[in-house]
Chains A and B, each alone.
Chain A
Amino acid sequence: MRLAQGTRGIRVAVTEDKVELWAPTQNAEATLQLAAKAAKVDPGKVEVHVTLLGGGFGRRGAPVAQNFVPQAVAIAKAVGKPVKLLWSREEDVRCDFYRPASAAKFTAGLDESGALLGWHLRLAGPSIAHTLAPAMLEHGADVRMGEGLVDMPYGVPNILIDYAMRNTHVPVGYWRSVNHSQNAFFKESFIDEMAHAADQDPYQFRRALLAHNPLHLAVLDAAAKKAGWGETLPPGVFRGIAHNEAYGTIVTQVVEASVDDRGAVHVHRVVCAMDPGHVVNPDTIEAQIQGAIVFGLTAALYGEITIKDGRVEQGNFDDYEMLRLDAMPKVEVVLVPSGAFWGGVGEPGLPPLAPALCNALFAATGQRIRSLPLKDQKLHTA
């Protein structure tokens, strides 16, 4: 769930010769086209004033997902007066385009030395492109479902990736880091399982798989160094690591976490190393990483939408928990720009968080977390 802090809202004035909108939109061109269509006027007669967003995280971009635009135009036409439409939080939660619920089944073979020989990845889940932009499908397939997997940086001698598109009646949409958000969880949790099976340190296991890839090694090493990988931690605190490239930016995160007597998860520290190619404003990058970690951690701990009798059960912050200030971990950012091509910084900080956390929880409890959110898991201290 996106649950941007501002619920969807828009202002519309329809007159004889003009349709005017004040819209918090991530895609004003689409807003304009949608308004023209809804008002049955030429796009030249529509004017869109873009306001501050109140948070987007993907919800206010794709034309299909901007369903509040035709809705407001229709109301303004019907009442013959300017209209301000503001969704309640319950409408905002229940009429969304959700993060695709996906599943994966992986098998791999290691040789006697623990080196990876081959990896078979099988994915199933609904396609965002199918819901929001069918034109993006290629021969009916959504290649973006394999984001972060088809192009993974690890040296895997033999790899086979299958994807079964399974669309349901639940509309899906873009969510911060899109398919990387689930794929990195699958990939990096499994890499950890392989390291464990090979009886190797999870950082060193990744190092070996990235030996051919100096740009990736630099980020992995920077995070491990800053985190003090291998050094003693306070009693009860354990580390996990995860590595991912998304939107041209390479990221490694090391999470320090503990599980208390009641099975509650506490995240104390997150070290994030990032190579976005170039750094213009390090302060903004730090803020985006902090934000991506909060977003990823909220989802890993609490993010769950359930459907009952055809309807979303959750409605507001009382039944959909959010991370708050008291649970904010210490975040340390190391930027290692390589001078390679420019990558993004808003989304890439999110995908490694859930697997790094769950890998830390494995170290803490011996329990391998294979499904999220964590609130549904029974954890016990080792």
Chain B
Amino acid sequence: MIRLNINGEDHSVDVDPDMPLLWVLRDTLGLTGTKFGCGIAQCGACTVHVDGQAIRACITPVSSIGDSKVLTIEGLQLHGDHPVQQAWMAHDVPQCGYCQPGMMMAAAALLTSKPHPTDADIDQAITNICRCGTYARVRQAIHSAAKA
């Protein structure tokens, strides 16, 4: 049994220690907001926070989490009132939506470490792939969230 703290709740999961956190979240715990896009840390669809840092869950073995606190898109703010969620709605960022949980988690982590990011900070921190091409609005929404 592996113990995990996810979105403030303790869970025990009976899984292989090598299992990537992404699949524990999705298949074992049913937290399907975190997405699969590549499995090799290239696209960011699987971004979650571990102790406040954005990480790519597809290459993170579940056993490496230990006592750290995991935050997924489901736990970002239950009622959608996180500044990132508000800004995402105000700018109508998503198109197909698939990359957006990862984008929002990456943005939320950036805003925690740099509350007023410059364009260069955003370029550096947001390396997630959006095939629908929402990048311009992602940038605008991050700036709006920083002002909120």
Residue numbers of A with Cβ under 8 A of B are 3-7, 52-57, 86, 88-89, 283-284, 287, 290-295, 316-318, 322-326, 328, 330-331
Contact = CB atoms under 8 A, between A and B. Distances in A.
B134 A322 contact: no
A330 B134 CA distance: 12
Contacts of A3: 131
B52 interface: no
30 contacts: A4-B98, A4-B131, A5-B37, A5-B43, A5-B98, A5-B99, A5-B130, A6-B98, A7-B37, A54-B97, A54-B98, A55-B96, A55-B98, A55-B132, A56-B96, A86-B36, A287-B95, A287-B137, A290-B134, A291-B132, A294-B130, A295-B131, A317-B40, A324-B127, A324-B128, A324-B129, A325-B123, A325-B135, A325-B139, A328-B139
B136 interface: yes
Contacts of A287: 92, 95, 134, 137
Nearest to A324: B127
A317 B37 CA distance: 9
A92 to B, nearest CB: 10
Nearest to B131: A5
B108 interface: no
B45 interface: yes
Contacts of A89: 37-40
Contact of B38 (A53, A54, A57, A316): A316
The prevalent SS among residues of A at the interface is: loop
Given A317-B42, A317-B43, A322 B131 contact: yes
B49 interface: no
Contacts of B126: 324-325
Binding site of B, secondary structure by majority: helix, strand, loop or mixed?
A: loop
B133 A325 contact: no
Residue among B38, B43, B134 with the most chain A CB within 10 A? B38
What's the interface size class on B, roughly? 20 to 34
A331 B136 contact: yes
A292 B98 CA distance: 17
Interface centre among B37, B127, B132, B133 (most CB of A within 10 A): B133
A52 B98 CA distance: 9
A298 to B, nearest CB: 8
A96 to B, nearest CB: 14
Contacts of B43: 5, 317, 322
Nearest to A349: B133
B122 A325 contact: yes
Contacts of A284: 92
A294 B98 CA distance: 16
B113 interface: no
Contacts of A7: 36-37
B35 interface: yes
Interface string B87-99: 0000010011111
Interface string B35-63: 11111101101000000000000000000
Contacts of A325: 122-123, 126-128, 130, 135, 138-139
A52 B133 contact: no
Contacts of B135: 290, 294, 323-325, 328
B12 interface: no
B120 to A, nearest CB: 9
Given A5-B131, A287-B134, A290-B136, 8 more contacts: A5-B96, A7-B37, A291-B95, A293-B133, A316-B38, A317-B37, A324-B127, A328-B135
B101 to A, nearest CB: 11
Interface string B114-148: 00000000111011111111111111000000000
Shortest 4 CB-CB contacts between residues of A and residues of B: A294-B133, A291-B133, A326-B123, A317-B42
Contact of A328 (B35, B36, B127, B136): B136
Which of B39, B43, B132 counts the most A-chain CB atoms under 10 A from its CB? B132
A55 B134 CA distance: 12
Contacts of A331: 136
Contacts of A57: 131
Contact of A317 (B38, B132, B137, B138): B38
| Residue from A53, A57, A291, A331 whose CB has the most chain B CB atoms within 10 Å | A291
Contacts of B128: 324-325
A341 B85 CA distance: 38
Residue of B39, B122, B131 ringed by the most chain A CB atoms within 10 A: B131
